[in-house]
């Protein structure tokens, strides 16, 4: 008999085994911020223990993990008791469980003579904190810890944007002498990506999700590190000093009036149907939020009646969390390949048996670096848990041993010695493996093009990785600037493209010619420049020319840009091959970034076409040649009757003969009517659809 079977037959032994295992996971999770198993695996253990204890109540002991709410305080932080226990919520992903909660609550409310109204709130996936104020001044911040006692993290909490250090004293409800507020600290998804990119750069293990990253950050003894990661907070409860509030919404309004960040999506409902449709709406908008949520919380509005309804040892009976389906699934690693990214860094990628994770089919996941693969011990053929957080690329979180796995495993992954794309010997001297052939390596160009057209970049619909690869492999695009020279005829040559789809892509590329400066700066893939830094640069320098001309000192004078960043940015713009590539890219016929001031308003600068000369030939359908010329002039451009070397664009309609061939001889860019219309659309000018010919 195996030890597991033995334990199954002997509940006391099994309980003991489960407790020891859970304790050690608690330590890893709460104390070391390095979970050894996934939340699901942990929950399963806890559920089994709870079930066994329910069947054998005589075996319950005070130190069983079921009798606590969380983990022990970490050494290095002083402990503090909470004003009142910080309970957690009963939760489930099933609608039926929400309805059962509603029915229970209505029975209890009827018995107590209370009307049921609900407060509905997104459930922020962060970590709970208590903020204690004396006479309106922040005195102490304490993590949830085991629910009764937590760790004092005041120094770190002071660095969190949104945590008020002093409360507003002009609110309708006066600030009580002692106030304890509960909120959720979280790390926005964009910052999470940045933090992970940094960790990976240092050869360290990335965080599995934004919640772990927030927890790991807040419980840093070094507050400078906490400050360098832009944590945020939403507040939703008063643990002490809330006596003046009679409803949850009055409380939320009161918190906002005192200066606490309160989630803008909070709502109210009277029926469970309304509560459920709130859940559906919030879930539909989940991916658009800049932070992670893992469900919605539904709470009884009336605060006074909560006492009558009561709590269990873990959770209130007057609140419930309806959770989203977890964005984690188990899949199998079919193959591990080395993939070369736009910066030349070679990353191991797991090709997975396709699996649907929260509505998205995932067939690739990032394995980050060789150390990380070794740490997680992942090989081809293994079953693995894959997690997707927000917009983030799916990650392999851990290996899971499944029933039927026979113990035979693949070979450990080895990095190749030569670039899988261009064959150049890889540089393995630093923390990463790098392909040094940055100018010619096709894989790096594919990466640069994809990033350039990505959502945060020029947002060129249809220019995904697949298309970028086709463009590079066919030789149609050998540098990023050449993207703007593509014609419908070129794109049609690619497999899978027809006249319409090719037209759409070319139109999207032309429409992106006048993208906002911040998008252009992000899309270039300058080291250290994520979308937040790109926005800062755009706001401070206004035009691409000023950013290019900025010295290290000019950059340093901008709030939020430090020495390393300033040097990287300046280094990028002064490297000779970048100067040349940017000059090509920023030719008037290619990319003309919209200056920052102009992008703030709804209409665009009147000088958007200044310095550009247009010639029209052939018949246009949507507008006459004269109307087209007039439009160009109102946008600051010139319209001319004949093609010369100075012509920026020839717009050719049906039957444009000699001018078209002359333009082609002179290398003047040619647009068809659709391209011209798209160009105008990019400048905020709409041209009406042609009248139906019928
Ligand atoms: S109410 C008694 N409201 O979710 C009240 N919790 O397991 C209990 N959370 O530990 C909490 N957003 O850390 C509440 N709007 C919200 C919340 C929220 C996130 C967290 C909180 C709690 C966990 C529930």
- Beta strands 328-340 and 346-357, pairing class: antiparallel
Residue 290 CA to ligand 1 center (angstroms) comes to: 19
**Residue 390's pLDDT is what?**
61
442: pLDDT confidence band, cut at 50, 70 and 90? Answer: very high
- Beta strands 669-671 and 267-269, pairing class: unpaired
CA distance 463 to 87: 48
Segment 522-532, tens digit of pLDDT: 999 998 898 88
Residue owning the nearest CA to atom 8 of ligand 1: 88
Q: Which residue out of 147, 236, 293, 298 has the highest number of ligand 1 atoms within 8 Å of its CB and is therefore the one to mutate?
A: 236
**Residue 277's pLDDT is what?**
97
Average pLDDT (297-311) is 93
Segment 499-514, tens digit of pLDDT: 999 999 999 999 999 9
Catalytic residue among 123, 299, 328, 659: 123
CA distance 545 to 542: 9
Work out which ligand 1 atom sits closest to the CA atom of 315. Answer: 2
Q: The tokens 């005195």 sit on which residue?
A: 139
Which 3 state secondary structure label does DSSP give 48? helix
Query: Is pLDDT of 71 > 60?
Result: no
Torsion 16-19-21-23 (CA) sign: negative
CA distance 345 to 341: 6
% of residues, the chain, pLDDT over 70: 92
- CA distances in angstroms from 362 to 205, 393, 401, listed in the order given: 22, 9, 20
199: pLDDT confidence band, cut at 50, 70 and 90? Answer: confident
Work out which ligand 1 atom sits closest to the CA atom of 263. Answer: 15
Residue 89 CA to ligand 1 center (angstroms) comes to: 6
Task: Name the token pair of 309.
Answer: 């309804």
Q: What is the pTM of this model?
A: 0.60
For residue 28, what are the contacts with CB-CB under 8 A and spacing of at least 6? 34, 35, 36
Task: Name the token pair of 444.
Answer: 């790096």
- Which DSSP helix (H) or strand (E) runs through 360? strand 360-366
% of residues, the chain, pLDDT over 90: 53
Residue 147 CA to ligand 1 center (angstroms) comes to: 12
- Which DSSP helix (H) or strand (E) runs through 571? helix 563-574
Q: Between residues 4 and 375, which one has the greater pLDDT?
A: 375
Segment 517-567, tens digit of pLDDT: 999 999 999 988 988 889 889 989 999 999 999 999 999 998 888 899 999
Residue owning the nearest CA to atom 21 of ligand 1: 128
Residue owning the nearest CA to atom 16 of ligand 1: 123
Average pLDDT (2-29) is 73
Q: Which residue out of 71, 123, 180, 185 has the highest number of ligand 1 atoms within 8 Å of its CB and is therefore the one to mutate?
A: 123
Q: The tokens 């409803």 sit on which residue?
A: 247
Q: Which residue out of 297, 300, 307, 319 has the highest number of ligand 1 atoms within 8 Å of its CB and is therefore the one to mutate?
A: 297
Highest mean pLDDT among 171-180, 391-400, 613-622: 171-180
Phi, psi of 551, deg, nearest 5: -80, 170
25: nearest Cα among 43, 13, 11? 43
Average pLDDT (610-614) is 82
CA distance 182 to 237: 5
**H-helix segments, 478-516:** 488-492, 499-511
| Degrees to nearest 5, angle at CA 515 with 456 and 598 | 115
Query: Is pLDDT of 214 > 60?
Result: yes
Do you know the residue count of the chain? 694
Residue owning the nearest CA to atom 12 of ligand 1: 123
**Residue 32's pLDDT is what?**
52
- Cα(first)–Cα(last) distance of the chain, in Å? 84
| Degrees to nearest 5, angle at CA 255 with 249 and 260 | 135
- For residue 302, give the DSSP letter: B
CA distance 76 to 176: 31
- For residue 507, give the DSSP letter: H
Mean pLDDT lowest among 70-79, 309-318, 405-414: 70-79
Query: Is pLDDT of 33 > 60?
Result: no
Residue 651 CA to ligand 1 center (angstroms) comes to: 59
**H-helix segments, 140-222:** 154-158, 189-201, 210-218
Residue 262 CA to ligand 1 center (angstroms) comes to: 13
Exposure letters 392-415 (e unless 16+ CB within 10 A, then b): bebbbbbbbeeeeeeeeeeeebee
Mean pLDDT lowest among 59-73, 272-286, 409-423, 634-648: 59-73
Q: Which residue out of 87, 88, 125, 268 has the highest number of ligand 1 atoms within 8 Å of its CB and is therefore the one to mutate?
A: 88
- Beta strands 638-640 and 613-617, pairing class: parallel
Q: Between residues 681 and 267, which one has the greater pLDDT?
A: 267
Mean pLDDT lowest among 34-38, 260-264, 655-659: 34-38
Work out which ligand 1 atom sits closest to the CA atom of 91. Answer: 7
Residue 154 CA to ligand 1 center (angstroms) comes to: 21
670: nearest Cα among 643, 635, 634? 643
Q: What is the largest CA-CA distance in the chain?
A: 97
**H-helix segments, 39-89:** 39-55
505: nearest Cα among 537, 474, 467? 467
Question: In 31-188, at which residue ranges do the beta strands (DSSP E only) sit?
Answer: 79-81, 91-92, 118-124, 127-134, 137-143, 149-151, 178-186
In the annotation, is 662 catalytic? Answer: no
Q: Which residue out of 119, 120, 128 has the highest number of ligand 1 atoms within 8 Å of its CB and is therefore the one to mutate?
A: 128
Task: Name the token pair of 162.
Answer: 């949104």
- Beta strands 395-400 and 383-387, pairing class: antiparallel
Residue 207 CA to ligand 1 center (angstroms) comes to: 22
Helix, strand and coil percent figures for the chain, each rounded to 5: 40, 20, 40
Work out which ligand 1 atom sits closest to the CA atom of 266. Answer: 15
Segment 358-374, tens digit of pLDDT: 778 899 998 888 888 98
**Residue 1's pLDDT is what?**
43
Ligand 1 shell residues, CB under 6 Å: 87-89, 121, 123-124, 128, 184, 236-237, 297, 316, 319, 321
CA distance 117 to 298: 10
CB of 567 within 8 A of CB of 489?
no
Work out which ligand 1 atom sits closest to the CA atom of 299. Answer: 1
- For residue 590, give the DSSP letter: S
Torsion 57-62-63-69 (CA) sign: positive
Residue 88 CA to ligand 1 center (angstroms) comes to: 6
Residue 182 CA to ligand 1 center (angstroms) comes to: 9
**Residue 473's pLDDT is what?**
95
Residue 181 CA to ligand 1 center (angstroms) comes to: 12
**Residue 62's pLDDT is what?**
66
Residue owning the nearest CA to atom 9 of ligand 1: 123
Residue 280 CA to ligand 1 center (angstroms) comes to: 19
10: nearest Cα among 59, 50, 45? 59
Q: Between residues 308 and 678, which one has the greater pLDDT?
A: 308
Per-residue three-class SS string for 668-686? CEEECHHHHHHHHHHCCCC
Query: Is pLDDT of 690 > 50?
Result: yes
Quote the radius of gyration of the chain (alpha carbons, Å): 30
CB of 347 within 8 A of CB of 339?
yes
Which 3 state secondary structure label does DSSP give 256? helix
6: pLDDT confidence band, cut at 50, 70 and 90? Answer: very low
**Residue 2's pLDDT is what?**
46
Exposure letters 61-99 (e unless 16+ CB within 10 A, then b): eeebbbebbbbbbbeebebbebbebbbbbebeeeeeebe
- Beta strands 613-617 and 649-652, pairing class: parallel
Average pLDDT (28-48) is 72
How far from chain centre, in Å, is Cα 248?
30
User: Which residues sit opposite 640 in a β-bridge?
Assistant: 615
82: nearest Cα among 8, 154, 151, 135? 151
**H-helix segments, 615-657:** 625-634
Phi, psi of 583, deg, nearest 5: -60, -40
Tell me which long-range contacts 228-231 makes (C-beta under 8 A, separation of at least 24).
Answer: 229/187, 229/191, 229/195, 230/161, 230/187, 230/188, 230/191, 231/159, 231/160, 231/161, 231/185, 231/186, 231/187, 231/191
Work out which ligand 1 atom sits closest to the CA atom of 182. Answer: 11
CB of 347 within 8 A of CB of 325?
no
Mean confidence (pLDDT) of the chain: 87
200: pLDDT confidence band, cut at 50, 70 and 90? Answer: confident
Query: Is pLDDT of 601 > 50?
Result: no
């Amino acid at each position: 008999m195996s030890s597991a079977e033995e334990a199954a037959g002997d509940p006391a032994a099994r309980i003991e085994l489960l407790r020891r295992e859970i304790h050690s996971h608690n330590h890893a999770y709460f104390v070391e911020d390095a979970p050894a198993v996934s939340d699901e695996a942990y929950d399963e253990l806890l559920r089994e223990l709870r079930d066994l204890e329910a069947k054998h109540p005589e075996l319950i002991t005070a130190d069983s993990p079921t009798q606590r709410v969380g983990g022990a305080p970490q050494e290095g932080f002083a402990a503090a008791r909470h004003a009142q226990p910080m309970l957690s919520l009963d939760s489930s992903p099933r609608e039926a469980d929400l309805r059962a909660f509603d029915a229970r609550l209505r029975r209890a409310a009827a018995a107590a003579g209370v009307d049921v109204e609900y407060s509905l709130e997104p459930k922020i996936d962060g970590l709970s904190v208590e903020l204690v104020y004396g006479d309106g001044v922040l005195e102490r911040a304490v993590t949830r810890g085991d629910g009764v006692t937590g760790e004092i993290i005041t120094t770190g909490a002071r660095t969190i944007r949104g945590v008020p250090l002093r409360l507003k004293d002009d609110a309708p409800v006066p600030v009580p002498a002692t106030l304890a507020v509960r909120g959720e600290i979280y790390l926005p998804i964009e910052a999470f990506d940045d933090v992970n990119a940094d960790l990976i750069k240092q050869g360290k293990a990335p965080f599995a999700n934004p919640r772990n990253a927030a927890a790991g950050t807040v419980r840093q003894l070094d507050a400078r590190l906490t400050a360098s990661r832009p944590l945020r907070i939403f507040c939703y409860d008063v643990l002490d000093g809330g006596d003046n509030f009679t409803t949850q919404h009055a409380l939320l309004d009161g918190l906002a009036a005192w200066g606490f960040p309160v989630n803008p999506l909070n709502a109210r409902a009277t029926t469970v149907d309304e509560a459920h449709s709130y859940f559906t709406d919030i879930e539909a908008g989940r991916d658009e939020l800049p932070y992670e949520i893992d469900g919605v919380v539904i709470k009884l509005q009336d605060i006074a009646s909560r006492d009558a309804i009561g709590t269990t040892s873990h959770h209130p009976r007057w609140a419930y969390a309806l959770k989203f389906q977890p964005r984690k699934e188990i899949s199998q690693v079919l193959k591990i390949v080395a993939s070369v990214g736009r910066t030349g860094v070679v990353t191991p990628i797991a090709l997975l048996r396709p699996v649907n994770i929260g509505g998205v089919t995932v067939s690739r996941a990032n394995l980050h670096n060789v150390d990380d693969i070794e740490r997680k011990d992942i090989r081809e053929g293994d079953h693995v848990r894959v997690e997707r957080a927000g917009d983030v690329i799916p990650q392999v979180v851990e290996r899971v041993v499944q029933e039927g796995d026979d113990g035979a495993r693949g070979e450990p992954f080895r990095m190749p010695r030569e670039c899988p794309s261009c064959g150049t010997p890889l540089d393995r001297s630093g923390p990463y493996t790098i392909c040094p052939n940055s100018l010619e390596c096709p894989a790096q160009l594919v990466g640069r093009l994809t990033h350039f057209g990505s959502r945060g970049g020029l947002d060129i619909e249809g220019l995904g990785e697949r298309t970028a690869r086709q463009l590079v492999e066919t030789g149609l695009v050998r540098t990023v600037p050449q993207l703007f020279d593509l014609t419908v005829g070129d794109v049609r040559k690619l497999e899978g493209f027809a006249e319409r789809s090719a037209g759409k892509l070319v139109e999207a590329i032309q429409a992106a010619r006048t993208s906002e400066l911040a998008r252009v700066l992000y899309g270039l893939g300058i080291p250290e420049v994520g979308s937040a830094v790109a926005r800062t640069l755009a706001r401070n320098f206004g035009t691409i020319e000023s950013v290019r001309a900025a010295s290290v000192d000019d950059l340093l004078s901008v709030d939020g840009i430090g020495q390393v960043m300033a040097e990287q940015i300046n280094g990028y713009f002064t490297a000779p091959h970048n100067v040349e590539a940017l000059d090509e890219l920023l030719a008037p016929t290619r990319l003309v970034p919209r200056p920052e001031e102009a992008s703030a308003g709804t209409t665009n600068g009147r000088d958007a076409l200044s310095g550009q000369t247009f010639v029209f030939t052939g018949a246009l359908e949507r507008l006459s040649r004269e109307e087209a010329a007039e439009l160009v002039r109102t946008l600051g451009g010139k319209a001319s009757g004949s093609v010369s070397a100075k012509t920026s664009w020839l717009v050719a309609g049906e039957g444009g003969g000699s001018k078209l061939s002359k333009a082609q001889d002179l290398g003047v860019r040619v647009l068809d009517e659709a391209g011209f219309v798209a160009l105008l659309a990019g400048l905020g000018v709409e041209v009406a659809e042609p009248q139906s010919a019928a």
